[in-house]
Structure 1
């Protein structure tokens, strides 16, 4: 498993929104693990369920609550590995996207990526009633925005080679392109292996990434952007 440590483009402004997102995700997870009863209530109340999201009767019966879960479920996580993995990627890549888009546009970008990835997961699993949580779809959107905005940036990455774990600088387009191909292959695997059961929302990752690519272009301010990578 490769892990990004930092990237080459330096930001000039403080990424207040990215810091707030990191704090919110970690803070809410601490609430989950601090009290099992609170954690159970949060998941039961705010997790996304595909069958509810895609059902008009459920929307009517729940007063539109499935819409809330699209934006709330990305702030919940199931384990330390789950939250820390997502937050590592958000820490490395999110500040650059915030600098490119600006604070308010970045928040809109993040939430839209979260919602669009949740919709994709529901469409790919329309009969599932399994609660879905995690920021990975929104973070995938950040990665998609990054590969469009900073393709030539260098990502300092830990790459395990046997017992050694050297740190290697990898071009962003290679690092993130390979990440996306892995998600795509994993999402398509059930088509090739009909008996495979997935426990990861790969289509949320795929659609989040593609949404990030598109939204980074739509929401970017119309002005030259310096430090595009390299």
Structure 2
């Protein structure tokens, strides 16, 4: 899941897309419907486990059995409601402006390629693992990487939770995304690849894949000159949002 380890959740950016993000919305709806279909449609836990092992990405099945389909099917599966909703929140926040820049079909290709790159990173990190990997996190990490390259100074409202305290801050995208990427690298190095849980190397691999895939469009726009023209933000007027003040409850 994208947001769980750091308890940091972007809830909106200040530059809505200039057109309706049909593909972003389609991906969100598709992920939710697929999740509902197997989470509540399968008769028992054993059937659910078989389903995950059939359509999730198992590195050993790819490296030893040539089963490549899991690279795609795994990015439409999730391990629970928190996993699903966290990923869809990140996709909602960062997907629309990238779709506006790449076009609908271009963004869809970018998203799928990022997800495949993320899956391959996890396979390289642990090629004999029998643990299935599921989730859109890697593809969404690619969206975040592309967003970082194209719109590093976009303003993002972030909910930060520390134990029982929470607060919303407005932070430039490059701080949010660079901090998130650094956490994935640190967690990936410090967590055994066979431990299960969060696929940190898939997150890091997807993020790098997203930057690599967005590099040519960025260069075509002028590279650093594009940042100077755009000031590092999407080409849409910023929407003024009021950040709610979170007050501590009085003691009783």
**TM-score under structure 1 length normalisation:** 0.87
User: What are the residue-to-residue correspondences of 1:18-37 with 2, within 5 Å?
Assistant: 18-37=24-43
Residue equivalent to 1:114: 115
Whole-angstrom distance in 1 between the partners of 2:157 and 2:69: 37
Residue equivalent to 2:201: 203
Native 8 Å contact 1:9 1:227 kept in 2: no
Whole-angstrom distance in 2 between the partners of 1:200 and 1:117: 13
Whole-angstrom distance in 1 between the partners of 2:116 and 2:217: 16
User: What are the residue-to-residue correspondences of 1:120-159 with 2, within 5 Å?
Assistant: 120-159=121-160
**TM-score under structure 2 length normalisation:** 0.80
SS class of match (1:21): helix
Q: CA deviation at 1:164?
A: 3.7
Q: CA deviation at 1:209?
A: 0.2
Native 8 Å contact 2:129 2:194 kept in 1: no
Whole-angstrom distance in 1 between the partners of 2:155 and 2:36: 33
SS class of match (1:159): strand
Residue equivalent to 1:47: 56
More helix by share: 1
Residue equivalent to 1:160: 161
Q: CA deviation at 1:39?
A: 3.9
Native 8 Å contact 2:125 2:193 kept in 1: no
Native 8 Å contact 1:101 1:220 kept in 2: no
Q: Deviations over 1:144-169 (max 9, x none)?
A: 01111110011111123564422110
What runs of 5+ residues in structure 2 fail to find an aligned partner? 1-6, 239-252
Whole-angstrom distance in 2 between the partners of 1:197 and 1:166: 32
Native 8 Å contact 2:142 2:209 kept in 1: yes
SS class of match (1:67): coil
Whole-angstrom distance in 2 between the partners of 1:148 and 1:116: 17
Q: What number of residue pairs does the alignment pair up? A: 219
Residue equivalent to 1:11: 17
Residue equivalent to 1:175: 176
Q: Deviations over 1:72-117 (max 9, x none)?
A: 1100001000000100000000111101111111011000011111
Q: CA deviation at 1:10?
A: 2.1
SS class of match (2:157): strand
What runs of 5+ residues in structure 1 fail to find an aligned partner? 60-65
